[in-house]
Copies of this chain bind each other. A is one copy, B any other.
Amino acid sequence: MIKIAIMGYGVVGSGVYEVLKKNEKSIAKKTGGKTIDVKYILDLRDFPDHENPQLFTKNFDDILNDDEVSIVVEVMGGLKPAYEYSKAALCAGKNVVTSNKELVAEHGTELMAIAKENHVNYLFEASVGGGIPIIRPLNQCLAANEIEEIYGILNGTTNYILTKMITDGADFAGALADAQCLGYAERNPEADVEGYDACRKIAILASLASGKFVNWRNIKTEGITKITRSDVAFAEKYNSVIKLIGFAKISEDGEVFSRVCPMVISKNHQLSDVNDVFNAILVKGDSLGDVMFYGRGAGKLPTASAVVADVIDAAKHIHINKFITWKQVDKDFMADPDAAVFRFFVRAESEAVSKDFDGAELLGSENGEWFFVTKEMTEKAFLDALSGRGAFIRLLD
């Protein structure tokens, strides 16, 4: 029997408890006969109506000092006290499983190194893509490949908002209000709509794919708040949709170019059909070509099921450090964003602006705004030519 502790009994934490109970028997089969038993639940709140109120504690030391607990599930979110607790648990020789993308993006390098020193694992499948398997496939299934590109729709809230703007002709504020109504967006939606959530996730994927710690602070991030109904309509005219994309490209010499921004995507592209709260991650490997993973990127049970898959994996490798992931590299290996080449979809304040772009394709005008698509050019050359006379969205080609 494997004794575990769950730290944080919110949406994901209670989901983990539920999945472990519901599928207890089939889970035991997958660990080779060992049952997974929840010994503690750490939460500052009281849950007097819980079926097992005696599991709850408000004191982390109860977990830390109990040698029977070999796996700790950290689903508290945030950096404090999750960082301190995770570190202490790993140092004490306990495996830690998390869904905490903030913590993995900030301190994952250190926590994985501590796990390795202590012959345990720090696992975080649920930190990206909710229930979609992506961390383990990148680590294991695609291990024979050099990963060249990752493009992901990594945030369900923004994808829901953009889908509403496309299908219902809503504007951003209306679609956001709708998402808040349905519980898909938080009352303070900044982390989602400004792209910060997607940024942490692509930073984790870029680190995994390149083998080097990619600091999320070095990833330029733009959200979707400035996208208008006209942008959506003219993208449609161009047989395209607008999606918030986190991407990372890794060059042969190991340079990493990563960014989070809205992108105009042709309807022929696989990612264009990923709608509502769904997420998808497209990975290009040198041997494999394109492979795509699609599913629910959030939600109680999908995320919990990814956490529990890691718990099962940890249970099978209690004292074997399994994952070789990324390392801290001091040299700067991030590509110069100015040198990146894109085509640009432009909403300009006059038709004249388009004349400054050789070979630009004019899409039309609405309410005094002119829409056109440029040829491929570097971002620097584009920004120089635009010179502030309009808004723009990059194309995913």
Contact = CB atoms under 8 A, between A and B. Distances in A.
Interface of A: 15, 19, 22-23, 26-27, 29-30, 32, 125, 131-133, 136-137, 140-146, 211, 270, 273, 285-296, 299, 301-302, 304-309, 311-313, 316, 322, 324
B308 A144 contact: yes
Contact of A137 (B136, B285, B288): B136
Best-surrounded residue of A29, A141, A293, A304 (most CB of chain B within 10 A): A141
Contacts of A316: 322
Given A137-B133, A142-B309, A309-B143, A302 B287 contact: yes
Contact of A144 (B143, B144, B309): B309
Contact of A143 (B292, B308, B322): B308
Q: How many copies of this kind of chain does the complex include?
A: 2
A144 B137 CA distance: 16
A293 B296 contact: no
Contact of A287 (B19, B141, B143): B19
B29 A324 contact: yes
A144 B291 contact: no
Could you say which of A292, A308, A311 has the most chain B C-beta atoms within 10 Å of its C-beta? A292
Given A144-B306, A270-B294, A287-B304, 17 more contacts: A23-B145, A23-B146, A26-B211, A29-B211, A131-B287, A133-B140, A133-B142, A133-B291, A136-B136, A141-B309, A145-B305, A285-B305, A288-B301, A289-B296, A291-B293, A291-B296, A294-B294
Contacts of A322: 316
A277 to B, nearest CB: 11
A301 B324 contact: no
A306 B295 CA distance: 22
A324 B28 CA distance: 11
